[in-house]
Structure 1
Amino acid sequence: MDRHEEFREFVAARGQALMGTAYLLTGGRHQAEDLLQTVLTRLVTRWHGIQADGNPEGYVRTALYREFVSWRRVARNREIPRADMPDIAGHENHEDTAVQRVVLEHALRRLTPRQRAVLVLRFYEDHSEADTARILGCSVGTVKSQTHHALRRMRTLAPELADLLSETHLTTPRSR
């Protein structure tokens, strides 16, 4: 087995899930591909050490979130044109869900990079406040305040998502 075979196997097995996270962060397929490719390119040469650490997916996800926040600090254009919509499988009311998804994506794009990363980690990936802080390299207090400010901003930007952004809905564990 060549030195990159284990890396290729990891990407084949977990690439789609990582792409989904990158998509949630960037809001666009092409930007998500760029983000994921940038991170994977940086990690391929160090893969043996990353894998020896025992949690390669956690390491890649941490790198993905940190790279996204780094990119967004530099880029100030928050609006990303969209030519296509992602598939929405498993929902009974596709029309309402599609509208809700578009509204949610537009509101997410108007958050700061750290706020968006915190919401994705906390409510999409179901990470604890402590894990989110570790992944983003900040304090738990920062995660709490960023979550609070992000949810308040989301409620202002998209009042039609009030049910989705309710405290009850957000504290209920998501089925995976």
Structure 2
Amino acid sequence: MRELAAILIVFLIAANLILYHYFPKPKKPKAGRVYDAAIVLGSPAKEDGSLSRLQKTRMDAAIRLYRQHTVQRIIISGGSVRNDYAEAEIMAAYAITCGIAKEVLLLERKARNTYENLKYAKEICIAHEWHSVVVVTSSFHVRRASYMVRKFFDDFAMQKTADKEPYRHYVSEYFRMWNSLRCEIMLNRKNRR
């Protein structure tokens, strides 16, 4: 039984080393640097269309970056995924109630997942000739999001929310990171053919 436990522990350590090699600790925004825009990754609103806790914490982080003059504009990305309410619109309404001018906000309403958030936000950045971004997301999501951001942006930093998220989010995200890695490997194999 001890041998089995030892093998399991070694396997888990090796698996985590592999995972964290592909999903390293993300770069934080550099002090004193001004980025072209913040990209706030969407999260579903509550069923009644009101702001969810995850949406609020992500927007609070983006608003803080804007007020500290770290970013010049805020791109809010997210369509209607789990209900009829576009994530970007709910989050923008909250930002406006916090005193952020509408002109500062750009909304992307088509994205249904993290990859699309970044893909469509990149299109907005290209249209405005913006090159440097800070991507804002929840602490449990920041490593996987950073992994995807590298596919779209060269000059980026990641800003995670200040709130501590429930443990279940981290467990779910752990398996999503493995799935992202699996999909990447499969895609690379397909492209080599």
Q: TM-score, normalised by structure 1?
A: 0.25
More helix by share: 1
Larger Rg: 2
Q: TM-score, normalised by structure 2?
A: 0.24
> Which fold has the larger relative contact order, with Cα–Cα distance below 8 Å and residues 6 or more apart in sequence?
2
More strand by share: 2
